[in-house]
A and B are shown apart, each in its own frame.
Chain A
Amino acid sequence: MALPSYSTPGQRTFYYLYLFFCGTVFFFLIAPLVAIVPISFSQSPFMVFTDGMLAFPPDPEAWSFRWYRYMVGICTDKNLTTPCSNKWMVGTVNSFFIGFTATFIATALGTLAALGLSRPHMPFKGIIMSILISPMIVPLIITSAGMFFFYARYNLVYTFTGIIMAHVALATPFVVITVTATLIGFDMNMVKASQSLGANPTRTFFKVIMPLILPGVISGALFAFITSFDEIVIVMFMASLDQVTIPRQMWSGIRQEISPVILCMATCLVILSIFLLSTVELLRRRSERLRGIKPR
């Protein structure tokens, strides 16, 4: 989309302005994420760039792993300026536990739902799809308020079971959508072929359907995982005080003690998201290649 050689100076100016504008927007999108990484290695107890960090040549005194030590719960500092506890680590364990369990259930449910919904003769397809997707559209605060009232009736509030169930409800739509998208290019004749060759439905599912839709299932699972992992509103309402998760710990960290420990965790989460993003990208390309569509 380079400019043709006959373009006028006006067009050139416009084109460069346009590129500049797009560059600014990209910068706007990514700058906050990049900015927090160096600050997390700072020595100072505030979330700022210190003079020492900006000095040239860089002052090694200004940089440290101090806050990372706080994060993993090694409290060897003599004078503590910020509370140092193992809460972050407890939160990490809880987050992964809730995340994995919710992902597992949501993936199983969502895949089955998508398989059923993509059958041509499924009755009430539209209504079921709308209900399934509604947790994605309805504001979280409403969902969590409703869930709070509902779960309170069955004594599920303040339990891991309750949180996991709520997360499953939130995460399932993502699985349904990604798997449905994979199923669009799925050739149903293969199911018939496998059945005519004598495989029972279970065997057909695991040997024929599953390998083909696996990329969609995995990326759906990743979406489900990040949804649950990143979820805070429900956790805030439904979790008891000692059921901390990473987002909740960050939330209370931001509200009470603004310390660079939050940024350390944030940096870790950015790295995690880079990892997830590249996995999803690779899977998407693989799935498109499998179905014979040229990768975009």
Chain B
Amino acid sequence: MLLRSVDDQHINLVYPLTFKEYQKWDRKDLPPEEVYKAMYTELGSVIPNIVDTTGMKKAEMKRKRSQEVGKALTRMNYSKSGWKSMIKKTRRQILKNNKKGEIPESYKETMIEINKGWGDQLYWQSMAQMLEPRTAIYYWNAVDRTYDIEKNVVMQEENRRMYIKTWWKTLKVSIYVTIYCLILGFPVAHLLANLPLRYSNLLMIFVLLPFWTSLLVRTTAWIVMLQQNGVINGVLVWLGILSDDGRIQMVYNMTGTIIAMTQILLPFMILPLYSVMKVIPKSHMRAAMNLGAKPSKAFLKVYLPQTIPGMSAGGLLVFVLAIGYFITPELVGGKDGQLIGHWIAYHLKTTLNWGLASALGALLLGAMLILYWVYNKIVGIDNIKLG
């Protein structure tokens, strides 16, 4: 996947001749006739030897070629929109010319005649950023930046910026979810750790059952609960808190995502907290109070510091899981509740921009590894407990 994110070989493979000529060009004005000639010939030839075609059948060869060309054209379109249609149009015209047996006097003029774009310097210059077999452009794209003609890194156009916003949103949602989980999980873990065994084992089912239940079941359940005709709105209307037409929109937006994610990740907070609190002797609190501390002070000074390993373990676990969450935001999030996972899947499945998908994934992976390292330092990876 990491290789995929820097791979930029498509065009050198598909139009090798053009690239050879192109490298000789001094990048001023329009390229010389030779470049046009190479491009013309390559566009006009039916099967160039782009891949190792030994032992392939003709149909397979053709399919492979159109695959590679498609990839190259898509890549060219990333650097400057319009490339794809221009090349396709020109290719059709050239094939027509070849059929008639016409050989142009000046390749340059014929091509500009077919499509004005060939006379536009911008197109030719945008090619420059595709010369190297490796590129960082996808990484820059993943943080809303792109190359300009001189290969400087600049911000994307206003209406194409969205990844920075999404990164922030992902971070924000993860932090919110972690904080809510901590607030909700702490007292529960405390209660479970201090109750007599027969009660706490019973109550533990409330924590473990959601933990064992399918993620999709819980997500569906939240849609049922939160939708406009859903259970929560129904109860509120029945209680008279809301009027029948004043039902709140709680699902398919950010609120829904955060509520559902909090519930789904809460067991991951409670379980580590519980295992830490279980071993804190109860006598510590009593001793503190015996020495004259008020309950609040005893709690803050004696109990809380001892739970910090549990809090950090649970917090990190929840945070790490939240930051890469995909299923729940996708189903509950609607339009504005989408996190970075959504875009990775989107580019992987829909736009087929695998380079960008890989770059987004690699950045996420990097962030994750740092967190993982921190986690390992604080709690140690062997200490993960289940159930």
Q: Which residues of A contact B (CB under 8 A)?
A: 1, 11, 18-19, 21-22, 25-26, 28-33, 35-36, 39, 46-49, 129-130, 133-134, 136-142, 145-146, 148-150, 174, 177-178, 180-181, 219, 223, 226, 229-230, 232-233, 236-237, 246-247, 250-251, 254-255, 258, 262-263, 266, 269-270, 273-274, 276-277, 280-281, 284, 296
B320 within 8 A of A: yes
Determine if A251 and B187 form an interchain contact, defined as CB atoms under 8 angstroms apart. Answer: no
If A32-B221, A145-B348 touch, whether A277 touches B1 (CB-CB below 8 Å) is no
A112–B218 alpha-carbon span in the complex (Å): 34
Closest Cβ neighbor of B316 among chain A residues? A137
B208 within 8 A of A: yes
Find chain A residues with CB under 8 A from B295 CB: 11
Determine if A177 and B386 form an interchain contact, defined as CB atoms under 8 angstroms apart. Answer: yes
Secondary structure dominating the interface of A: helix
A1–B357 alpha-carbon span in the complex (Å): 53
Closest Cβ neighbor of B212 among chain A residues? A273
Secondary structure dominating the interface of B: helix
Find chain A residues with CB under 8 A from B209 CB: 29-30, 33, 270, 273-274, 277
Closest Cβ neighbor of B373 among chain A residues? A130
Closest Cβ–Cβ distance, residue A271 to chain B (whole Å): 10
Give a binary string over B3-41; 1 marks a CB under 8 Å from any A CB, 0 the rest. 010000000000000000000000000000000000000
Q: Give the residue among B4, B341, B387 with the most A Cβ atoms within 10 A.
A: B387
Find chain A residues with CB under 8 A from B325 CB: 139
A246–B213 alpha-carbon span in the complex (Å): 13
Q: A36-B217, A49-B234, A146-B361 are in contact. List 7 more A-B contacts (CB 8 A).
A: A22-B188, A138-B368, A141-B361, A146-B1, A149-B358, A230-B216, A237-B348
Determine if A35 and B224 form an interchain contact, defined as CB atoms under 8 angstroms apart. Answer: yes
Of the candidates A36, A129, A230, A262, which one forms a contact with B215 in the assembled complex, judged by CB atoms under 8 Å apart? A230
Find chain B residues with CB under 8 A from A47 CB: 223-224, 227, 230
Find chain B residues with CB under 8 A from A250 CB: 216-217, 220
B349 within 8 A of A: yes
If A251-B216, A277-B205 touch, whether A138 touches B365 (CB-CB below 8 Å) is yes
Determine if A262 and B341 form an interchain contact, defined as CB atoms under 8 angstroms apart. Answer: no
Find chain B residues with CB under 8 A from A219 CB: 387
Determine if A277 and B212 form an interchain contact, defined as CB atoms under 8 angstroms apart. Answer: yes
Determine if B220 and A33 form an interchain contact, defined as CB atoms under 8 angstroms apart. Answer: no
